[in-house]
Amino acid sequence: MDFIDGLKQFAKRVERLKETITTEEATKTSIIMPFFQLLGYDVFDPNEFLPEFTADVGIKKGEKVDYAIIKDGQPVILIEAKWCGDNLEKHDSQLFRYFGTTSAKFAILTNGIRYQFFTDLEEANKMDSRPFLEFDLMNIKQPYVHELKKFHKNAFDVETIFDTAEELKYSNEIMKFMAQQLSLPSDNFVRYVLGEVYSGMRTQNVIEKFRDIVKKSLNQYVNELMSDKITTALRASSTPEDEDETTPDEPEVATTAEAPRIVTTEEELESLFIVRHILEDIVDRGRIHHRDTMSYFGIVLDNNRLKWICRLQLDGAKKFIIFPTEEKELIRHEIEGVDDLYKFKDTLIKVASRYLDD
């Protein structure tokens, strides 16, 4: 089972359980520990997942954090657990006090449903007041699944996560800000917009007059933008792909009066996010696109079908990834799921680099 499938199945279980869980301890054993099992940790091995980790703070000795994830004998992640019915924003987290006294670079505050990930971007050895990543089991979003997977035991790397944490933190804050403006534009935002379109004095009465106009305009723009993108996507999916190369053993698709509708799956989109992440050191993410066909899910550079990086066949009992050689031959590898794309990092970089050199 792929990571995202296991995560969604677990979320359904939590949805059923959460109303019956009334204590912090029950939250830990029923939700939090199984969550970290999904991330590959042996929660029953204190050399890997240590409960009641001691973190002395100043003259106070014996202070304990709920859990610490241990690597090479040292804590790398501190975890503070709350009851699943608690609002995390209400807590003056003990993590703020403990963070600087250990070698841990990351801290997680959770009620088993929401997971807030912290580090020290603003001041070394002092935990930031705002998380750089928030993950909600009841509202699983594809891009955040990709970020969460970086905390999997098999993928965990301090430097890799820390390098992307700043961009992730501020991009999340910007999205929250924009969501707030779409709901209820602030005085400062309305004043800024009026500065671009209104020549009169921007008094409080003027701001109140234009607030609803700004809100409606913003939402209309977003709706039209989404409508245009959906229309473009539908046109692309309904147009037969004019590919120069074919995949070995690929069956011909019969021509009918009405072509079957192509549906891009979450697993296919996850593969696109993974490839973008793997290649982000050599090419901007925005240059990597997908082209979905009846036979395969293709990932291409610059939305150019001739610059295809790989093709994925994920619908059948057996799943494959296919690469082009420099001689235009096709090499196929069987995979268990999209997580296996990380095993082909070098090949993906090699293929993409060929197009960058053109």
* pLDDT, position 230: 62
Provide the total of helices (H) and of strands (E) in the chain, helices listed first: 10, 11
CB 94 within 8 A of CB 107: no
* pLDDT, position 235: 53
Q: Which residue has the tokens 């202070």?
A: 63
pLDDT-flagged residues of the chain (< 50): 59, 237-259
* pLDDT, position 102: 82
* pLDDT, position 242: 44
E strand map for the chain: 49-54, 64-71, 74-81, 106-110, 114-118, 133-136, 288-292, 297-301, 308-313, 319-324, 330-335
Annotated domain spans of the chain: 3-175, 184-238, 266-357
DSSP letter for 45, please.
Answer: -
Alpha-carbon distance 192 to 132, whole Å?
Answer: 27
CB 220 within 8 A of CB 212: no
Question: 3-state DSSP call for residue 184?
Answer: coil
* Sheet containing strand 297-301, strands side by side: 288-292, 297-301, 308-313, 319-324, 330-335
Closest to 67 measured CA to CA, from 39, 58, 85, 90? 39
* pLDDT, position 165: 83
CB 105 within 8 A of CB 119: yes
pLDDT, one tens digit per residue, over 44-75 is 999 999 998 886 655 456 678 899 999 999 99
How many C-beta neighbours within 10 Å does residue 240 have?
A: 10
β-strand pairing of 133-136 with 288-292: unpaired
* pLDDT, position 311: 95
The topology (CATH level 3) of 3-175 is tt1808, chain A (3.90.1570)
* pLDDT, position 60: 53
Question: 3-state DSSP call for residue 171?
Answer: helix
Taken in order 183, 174, 140, 85, the sign of the CA dihedral is: negative
Question: What angle do helix axes 266-279 and 345-357 make, rounded to 10 degrees?
Answer: 70
Alpha-carbon distance 327 to 52, whole Å?
Answer: 58
**End-to-end C-alpha distance for the chain, whole angstroms:** 39
